[in-house]
Chain A
Amino acid sequence: MIGLVWKDLYSARSGVFAILLFALVFGLLFKDSWTGPMIVTLLFCNIGNSTLTWDEQCQWNTFAVSSGIPRRTLVLSKFEAGAVFVAMGTLIGLIAAVVFTVAGFNEMTLVENLQGVALGAIVAMVVMCLTIAITYWTGDSAKAQYMSTGIMVVSIIAMVSGSIIMTEMLDGAVSVIVVMAVIAVVAIAVAYKASCRRLESRDL
């Protein structure tokens, strides 16, 4: 399992630097509100899905399964690697939140900026899991990639809009984060089961 996660981290190392650059640009573009640090976190969620696309392209799973690695382990490793990328994004988001607060880029307090990062991490986990599940179901064709990107954009908009609406309805950001975390757990469980079901019933 560690080997599979390491493989994804090593494969994505150049992608991490590219995303970091994007994160800095987008973070600064949206530096006026708590969405700046959140976007920094969110951008990292797609790296996990990219590693899955690379696996599909070189048919790594065919080799891995043929060498005795259970299909379920492959799926789990993909979710674990995705979680590592989201953690990386969260760390960068935390640094951005502190920098934005200290530098006075926005009028938010450190706590508000950190709440933005927490929300970003939750949304990133959900989007990461959904895109992985979608890629398992649709493959790596160009059509599937467009579909996956479209669903990812819709998910992000829905999650962010939902969190803003809930902030108005619920009393405080902490309640919103708790509600979103519950939604995230359900989404992750569904995405994991769907991914396993697909990979376990598919010829490689």
Chain B
Amino acid sequence: MDNAVEIRGLCKRRGDFSMDGLDLVIPTGYVVGLIGENGAGKTTLIKCITGANIPDAGEIRLFGQPFAEADRSRIGVVFDECKFMANFDGRHLSKLMSMLFERWDGKVFEDMMSEYGIPMDKRVKEYSRGMRMKVQVAVAMAHSPDMIIMDEPTAGMDPAARDEFLDQVRGYMMDEGHTAIISSHITSDLERIADYIVFMHAGRIVMSGAKDDILDSYGIAKGGESAISALDRDDVVSIRREGYSVSALVRDKHGVREAFPELVVDDASLEDILIMTVRGERP
């Protein structure tokens, strides 16, 4: 099966921000989580994949096709802000989408709106922030896309709605031909659903891999300055000092535990890895 997305040498400059020669391959059938601080380049990357941003250089292939030839109506998108007209209600949005998308399924849309508790006759301008995100998710799912790309889809959703959303993504991914790319600051959501994680920082991919491998291998070693300095530099991703305590994000926590039994080595969550990558110092 073709890769859903192949990116080679992607360059994009915008003001102070620059993305230089980014490479990324997303195989079909995966849920990929994009993690990074504000301004890391997640939205720029997503917009380059969807065509909303025009890359300065590089090649993007979608569904095995060169970007210009790929059928981008096979992509469902959710942005961090709702892009629909404020004076449209659910019924008219559905009518509009049925005219724009060949594979639009009004019943799926109505069912999802009903599940989310959004009346079809309520206008977009009357929605809460959470409702605006939900209606975007419903639109993205209802046109039967082969790939969904979501930028902070759970922003503004309460925990129950987030849980419901994650269930919907799981349901969507039951089809092996489907792919999902989700960027989120809520790393716990990605821990629950993503197969593959891409960490971005300052326009670069600083780390990527299968989520289970990352969570299984990365750890936070804690100890004094001298104990941490004894660690092999190649094993250490970043170091953070808080008072007399020093912690280090290490790539092979099992190896470090064996080699340095005097150190406390905790499991690292995706959030720990993000914070250490962004705020820690390079060894």
Contact = CB atoms under 8 A, between A and B. Distances in A.
Interface of A: 2-4, 6-7, 10-11, 14, 54-55, 58-60, 62-69, 201-204
A203 B19 CA distance: 15
Given A6-B95, A54-B86, 5 more contacts: A3-B99, A11-B88, A59-B79, A59-B83, A203-B53
Interface centre among A2, A6, A54, A66 (most CB of B within 10 A): A66
B72 A68 contact: yes
A203 B72 CA distance: 17
Contact of A62 (B71, B79, B85): B79
Interface string B88-99: 100010011111
Contact of A67 (B53, B85, B100): B100
B54 interface: yes
Interface of B: 14, 47, 50-54, 71-77, 79, 81-88, 92, 95-101, 143, 149
5 contacts: A3-B98, A10-B92, A66-B75, A67-B50, A201-B54
B99 A68 contact: no
A54, A63, A202, A203 pick with most chain B CB within 10 angstroms: A63
Nearest to B12: A203
B83 A63 contact: yes
Given A11-B85, A58-B84, A66 B99 contact: no
A66 B76 CA distance: 8
Nearest to A204: B52
Given A3-B100, A6-B99, A203-B14, A65 B50 contact: yes
Contacts of A58: 82-86
B74 to A, nearest CB: 7
A55 B84 CA distance: 9
Contacts of A4: 100
A59 B54 CA distance: 16
For B50, B74, B100, which residue has the most chain A Cβ atoms within 10 angstroms?
B100
Contacts of B96: 3, 6-7, 10
Contacts of A204: 47, 52-53
B174 to A, nearest CB: 23
Contacts of A65: 50-52
A85 to B, nearest CB: 17
Counting chain B CB atoms within 10 Å of each CB, which of A10, A14, A55, A62 scores highest? A62
Contact of B74 (A14, A68, A202): A68
Given A65-B52, A204-B52, A7 B75 contact: no
A69 B100 contact: yes
B72 A60 contact: no
